[in-house]
Structure 1
Amino acid sequence: MGIAYAAPYLPPPPPVSPWRGVKLSWTGWDGSEWELTNPASGLFLMPGVRGLGLPEFERQSSASPAVAGSRHLGTSTKDRTVFWPLYLYSDSGSAEFMARDRAFWRSLDPDSEGTWTAVLPDGTKRFLRCRLTSAEDEWTHDPVQRGWARYAINLLADQTYWLGEAVTRSWAQDDLRDFYITEHDRTEFGYADDVIHYLSAGGSLDGATFTNDGDVPSFPVWTIVGPVTAVAFGVDGKNIIVPFEIPAGYGVQIDTDPVEGQVLWYGHWDAAAEVITDPVDRTSELDPTSAFVSIPAGQDLPLSFSMTGAGAISVTVQNKYRRAT
């Protein structure tokens, strides 16, 4: 009889921590990209960062000497101030330090915005557009000789809310099946199979909704690509009516956010870049009953549209948040 050997003891794998941090990065106005929470990159934020939490509010009210207290009329949200206590270094010598230092400062500009990005543990991203306002860079040593420097950088976000990732839903004819979202997009980015819906040549879609999980109302961006002879679209039955024909190869786009001007752009449609080239402002031709309606926070409001023709229509929403997390 042979000798039986017991299986060797294998210790259980270490438990996976349920805790993850927030990854921060900066994309400069010049397109350069910088990690801000990875010390090994040679640039990282130190304790004391501001701008990730709530913005500053100002209460609007009215008062009367004959009545105690005041009457609440709402709030206004002020510009968001951002503060970065930052450490920049290089272990490769003075020339490398100066090159990195110059490139980083070139990414900051008082007149052009860059994007501060927060990647949350669940993989979602939020974005804040910022511009440089000032910086403190007092020399306590020669940074070129030592290869490191501490900076205190102040930025400003004119549009004070953090933005979520853009969410797009599209509706098209069968022959435009992947006009907006291709099979590669589905595989690469995980789009659901029901992102694109299909209409008859003169149809409408009932039951489509859009949820705003942000903290404030969000205004959708509508894009229509011809050929379309008539089209109306909107939120909760309040529609924008385009009173002119959109031929094949042309498109219209309107961002209903009042900050963006609520302009109806018309022009040649670049299918590869998915943009209107040489856009013409045709806002004045909109039907006067057209309504620019937002999607309130926390509500799942129905979308409404009707379209005659073999074109395509899409709606894009980028929700807004008071905090990065």
Structure 2
Amino acid sequence: MPIFVPASGTLPGGLNPPPIDPLEVPSLSWTDARGRTTLLSDWENGWVLQPGIRGMDLPGYDFYTDASPQIDGNALRGLRAQAREIFLPLAFFDTSRAGFMTRKRSFFSTLNPRLGLGTLAMTEADGSFRTIEAYCASGAEGDFGENSSGLHWQVVGLTFSCPSPYWLGESVHVEYGAGASGSFFPVLPVVVKNSQVLGDTVIDNPGDARSFPVWTIHGPATSVEISNATTGLSFSVTASLGSSDVLVVDTRERLQTAVLNGSTNWWPNLATDSDLWGLEPGENDVSLTLAGTDSDTTVHLDYQPRFLTA
């Protein structure tokens, strides 16, 4: 049975050490819904990731096909990425039974799915990271077999279920504004004449999938239209914003809202033909058209690129 001996030379499990193999992975952490963060390979804290990690790369897909009489093969009509499962084998250990139980119980308390969704984060050596929302679906029930536990150690295989199949990159924030100069600059922020924000800009989404932004519009403005010429979709706000008003239009899937000043539902003030569009991977030709603005009018864009792999 292979044993990984730490730098101190002491075995974590006393006379019955755990089967810990060396494992080279970037930093992987778990943050529960209460904000408690645990580094998953942490010798000092008494847990180490084991070989056998699965589910970090491409998600599974459902493919929808049709067959036609007298035509060989099928026609692909559509597909959808499935919810993702990530499997993490983890060894817990200590030099004493009491220390081992304290460490294991402390970590397992963060896996309670009733707390809500937590976050798995993969961080590379250069500081770049990707995250995915998840909850622990199985694996922490307890297995006390001969090859999975001892007096001072236990190896568990935790399965995390991820409602979205995509890993999220670092948030992107862009600001657009109106100024009194009347000039247009094709760099961010966009500055145009003070009666109207009429800006054409290119937004480059570095992700592998469509990303859905949150738009924050600071008045005044008598009308707002934001469109994506790459997809041909747009949404419009038909009511006026005062100088102190802030409208947040959230286009994210399953979260779509339009809220004024943090409390008032402004969904009825979106044009009936509005589509809360997303940013396609790569370049998107976007136009912002606001009437009745002044130098205080700004539009903020926030989104997280979505990736197929960690």
Q: TM-score, normalised by structure 2?
A: 0.79
Q: C-alpha deviations, 1:105-138, integer Å up to 9, x for none? A: 1211334111000112442211111112111521
Q: What is aligned with 1:230? A: 223
1:195-210 aligned within 5 A: 196-210=189-203
CA distance in 2, matches of 1:212, 1:125: 16
Which of 134, 138, 155 lines up with 1:134 in the alignment? 138
Q: C-alpha deviations, 1:147-189, integer Å up to 9, x for none? A: 33211111111111111111010123579xxxxxxxxxxxxxx
Q: What is aligned with 2:242? A: 247
- Indicate how the Cα distance of structure 1 residues 200 and 87 shifts in structure 2: closer, same or farther if over 3 A, else same: farther
- For residue 104 of structure 1, report the CA deviation from its aligned partner: 1.2
Q: What is aligned with 1:88? A: 92
Q: What is aligned with 1:303? A: 286
CA distance in 2, matches of 1:201, 1:97: 66
Unaligned runs of 5+ in 1: 1-19, 176-193, 268-275
Q: What is aligned with 1:283? A: 267
Which of 116, 119, 137 lines up with 1:115 in the alignment? 119
CA distance in 2, matches of 1:234, 1:39: 51
The letter for the 2-side match of 1:302 is D
CA distance in 2, matches of 1:88, 1:22: 19
The letter for the 1-side match of 2:284 is L
**In the alignment, structure 1 residue 165 sits paired with structure 2 residue 180:** no
The letter for the 1-side match of 2:121 is T
**Is the 1:94–1:145 contact (alpha carbons within 8 Å) kept by the matching residues of 2?**
no
Q: What is aligned with 2:10? A: none
- For residue 292 of structure 1, report the CA deviation from its aligned partner: 2.3
- Indicate how the Cα distance of structure 1 residues 289 and 259 shifts in structure 2: closer, same or farther if over 3 A, else same: same
CA distance in 1, matches of 2:100, 2:192: 58
- For residue 59 of structure 1, report the CA deviation from its aligned partner: 1.3
**Which SS does the other structure have where 1:107 is aligned?**
helix
Q: What is aligned with 2:104? A: 101
Q: What is aligned with 2:306? A: 320
**Which SS does the other structure have where 1:83 is aligned?**
strand
RMSD over equivalenced CA pairs, Å: 2.6
Q: What is aligned with 2:8? A: none
Q: What is aligned with 1:181? A: none
- For residue 258 of structure 1, report the CA deviation from its aligned partner: 3.3
**Is the 1:133–1:155 contact (alpha carbons within 8 Å) kept by the matching residues of 2?**
yes
The letter for the 2-side match of 1:137 is G
CA distance in 1, matches of 2:94, 2:223: 61
CA distance in 1, matches of 2:79, 2:91: 37
Unaligned runs of 5+ in 2: 1-23, 181-186
The letter for the 1-side match of 2:109 is R
CA distance in 2, matches of 1:29, 1:104: 13
Q: C-alpha deviations, 1:16-37, integer Å up to 9, x for none? A: xxxx952211111221111123
- Indicate how the Cα distance of structure 1 residues 205 and 94 shifts in structure 2: closer, same or farther if over 3 A, else same: farther
CA distance in 2, matches of 1:152, 1:222: 41
**Is the 2:143–2:149 contact (alpha carbons within 8 Å) kept by the matching residues of 1?**
no
Q: Percent identity?
A: 26
Q: TM-score, normalised by structure 1?
A: 0.75
Give the count of matched residue pairs. 273
